Structure 1
């Protein structure tokens, strides 16, 4: 039974010499690709009884409607339509519906032919990083005052060993989402990025000091980094604004630069509470004690301009930015 692709190396793989080495009781099955078997040599071997029989659904030229092989009693042939069974057609319809639902939900359609969908080993593993990369791209744009024309993406750890083109596009989707007025997808995003003069540079390193996998996005002097954590592969933001964090990205977030002194977290909580904004989670990043610090806060609703102004007017707070992912 043959299970090889049709390549220059496999063309004529089963020829007269190969057939002569087979037992008279052998049966040859080729449902791989036409041209792998020398059909003239096969006809002679079957006719002379060198092998017992053959089953074919592929031929060197397709469609094939006439061949000497068809006249032999010890051959079973079918058209190259292996998927045309009731079960296969039912499954094809289900798969199409699932992929449409996946695409409409903003996730990665794994069988798209005109998108940079990962294939083969590690495809599902890589696809899990798509949402993280899109969130990082959006975060980078919203935390950057002056966006440049070059997005640098670095993959570290296990993910760096796979095809990451899908993740490149995911990061661009997040970055461009606030710049364009049309829906972005995995097909039109690269073209829209090129129209805006955005260049993408990628690098891969199998080494990652602190995390099994790490994705880092840079534009100018600004950097954001993230990873997937635990058996559920939960996204985590681990770097932004020049500080290390550990927080799950959420739809509504608040990023603050402040002095590293007592009472800053309390002041933040009081101001948000006065404006009816509930804190979901918080992570604090800091430099040397008593120097500079930052806070990444997830909240239940968008932080308005009024609240941002109240924060930066409070002594000890230097910068406050609302982010919507």
Structure 2
């Protein structure tokens, strides 16, 4: 009976996902070109989250986005769907699904291209989204599935050309600014005064005193006015936030 119960629950979950237009792990996905390999499935949430980060950092939709997948020999066509879903999740009011994501991209003239490469340095696998904005600025974000003991962790490894290693989960804040002493303390004070707790922080810079990117994980959502206040307080040239709270 236990096996039947588990099978019944699995079927019910698959039906629910299908009705919602979501990816059904055990079903053939027509647009993905067939069954999705077991090794590729854990990369689905990574690709979707990278899409969300890309749109947040870009501040809008790019005219075209290239998804580059390295170190995964299996068919990764479905990752294009996942990334496209993430790209539009915060852009449109309607719910974005695996079914309507390609149509949303087509309606807005956004070209999404998938390219693959067999090898990758420093990572077992690597997914990168790269695209040009209307003003000519190029934005890129990268992430990897990293194995820690018996579990896999989704990691952000690069944002806008800055290298980092941070869990791709929870509520993230990004600040671009000129590197100088006291910035970390200022951000901590501004957020702390409003009850926002910082769970993790990383600062990436290319050189001392040069352009830097601060990435924070916080325990609660940061409204637009507080984000603007924090950005102004440190003289940030750009600030954004994205919610990557694990839904998967």
Taking a change above 3 Å as real, the CA distance of residues 101 and 296 of structure 1, as seen in their structure-2 partners, is same
Q: Which runs of 5+ in 2 are unaligned?
A: 133-137
Distance 1:133 1:110 in 2: 15
Aligned twin of 1:228:
145
Find the aligned partners of 2:213 and 2:234 in 1 and give their Cα distance. 14
TM-score, normalising length from structure 1?
0.65
- TM-score, structure 2 length as denominator? 0.84
Partner of 2:158, secondary structure, is strand
Q: Out of 167, 171, 174, which is 2:79 matched to?
A: 167
Change in Cα spacing, 1:306 to 1:119, as seen in structure 2 (3 Å) is same
- TM-aligned CA distance change 1:146 to 1:188, over 3 Å: closer
Alignment-derived partner of residue 82 in structure 1: none
User: For 2:163 and 2:111, how far apart are their aligned partners in 1?
Assistant: 27
Mapped partners of 1:163, 1:280: distance in 2? 36
Cα RMSD of the aligned pairs, angstroms, is 2.7
Q: Is the 8 A contact 1:141 1:147 kept in 2?
A: yes
Report if aligned partners of 1:152, 1:217 keep a CA contact under 8 Å in 2: yes
Please tell me whether residue 123 in structure 1 is matched to residue 37 in structure 2: yes
Alignment-derived partner of residue 307 in structure 1: 226
* C-alpha deviation, 1:310, in angstroms: 2.0
Distance between the aligned counterparts of 1:104 and 1:92, measured in 2? 18
Residue in 2 that maps onto 1:4: none
* CA shift in 2, pair 1:142/1:242, >3 Å: same
Structure 1 gap segments, 5+ residues each: 1-88
> Which residue of structure 1 aligns with residue 135 of structure 2?
none
Q: Secondary structure at the match of 1:136?
A: helix
Which one of the candidate residues 166, 173, 180 is aligned to 1:261? Answer: 180
> How many Å apart are 1:204 and its aligned residue?
0.9
In structure 2, C-alpha distance between the alignment counterparts of 1:99 and 1:206, rounded to whole Å: 32
Q: CA deviation at 1:307?
A: 1.8
Change (3 A) 1:117 1:310: same
Compute the displacement of 1:189 (Å): 1.9
Higher strand share goes to which structure?
2
Q: Which of 199, 204, 225 lines up with 2:111 in the alignment?
A: 199
Q: How does 1:56-135 map to 2 (within 5 A)?
A: 93=8, 95-100=10-15, 108-116=23-31, 123-135=37-49
Instruction: Report the equivalent of 1:215.
Output: 127
Alpha-carbon distance, 1:168 to partner: 0.4
Alignment: residue pair count: 235
Indicate how the Cα distance of structure 1 residues 107 and 128 shifts in structure 2: closer, same or farther if over 3 A, else same: farther
- CA 1:209–1:93: 2 relative to 1, 3 Å: same
